[in-house]
Structure 1
Amino acid sequence: MERYTRTAMALHWLIALLIVAAFTLGLVMVDIPGFTPTKLKYFSWHKWLGVTVLALAALRLLWRLGNRPPRHAPGMAAWQTRAADGTHVLLYILMFAVPLSGYLYTTAAGVPVVYLGLWQIPSLFEADTALKATLKPVHYWLNMALAASVAMHVAAALKHHFVDRDDVLKRMLP
């Protein structure tokens, strides 16, 4: 059985964990009424997670460009290989688009992103109320697309493992 490299596996599972954490935190923080210290703390953590996902996604993409993934499982239908490849491309795009849209939304709101409370990420432009109003739903819907893509990815992996009984999932397990 061909397997992913240990580095690919580590980046895959770490990014997956961080995406789930950022998504969950995003849902929780927006439901907190008012302007509280807890809400501010959650917003900061959410931004830190986003910056970390973005950095790790860049590292993962660089790793993937230099390290070919295993071939598709033998006997997979052509439509399944196309769907798998398309979903992977979509996941990579969204791993960049979601945190970047969050950064742009935060910048448009005039709020600095201070990574881990230590390093301020430079703003590309001044606060812009109209742009903020545009970017808020963009960030939301990109997140929903990422959540749906992750769910589809997980469902496909579980289908391969429990229904097809092939090694697709095992290739990514440490």
Structure 2
Amino acid sequence: MANLVMFGASIFAVLGIALFLFKKRSNRRGKQEGAEGCITVETETIVMLKTNRLSAVDPANDPAVFSIPDFAPGKYIVPYSAIQSNSEGPIYVDTGGIFFMDAQLLEPFLEWFHETADSLSYDIFSVSEKLNEFDDAFQTTTGFLFSEGIGTNFPGDGGYSLDLSKLRRE
């Protein structure tokens, strides 16, 4: 019985230390800092629109296209708070990330994505780091948001909608 109590105490001590270390490395926005190889999660992204149609897509699924009310060409900020959980979609995510672009660039983007992703073993982070190649070729700004995790508006894979009222001009 004493061995069982010691084993239980050891497990709680290890979990306590792990929790302490995790809290030290994470800030309140879910960005992991100070640990090599950790991924930083952005809380908003910027997309350039030349038309009033915004496309949101996980390239593993069909894209969703939204019409922007009171549209003016330029850069728009898409915050996490605009992403709303909705099993009915129209945005479906299987990779934990959503790309945002002007809908007129959707086909060239998907072609570029699959060519680039194929050479990177479909590692979505490596592909997102190469977005500047696509943006330079098409003189645009493509946005990308990765899931903040469980307990947030965008916990990961699933169906989502986009609250267009939360988009704002840069």
Same fold (TM over 0.5): no
Whose strand fraction is larger, Structure 1's or Structure 2's?
2
Q: TM-score, normalised by structure 2?
A: 0.24
**Higher gyration radius (CA):** 2
Whose helix fraction is larger, Structure 1's or Structure 2's?
1
Q: TM-score, normalised by structure 1?
A: 0.24
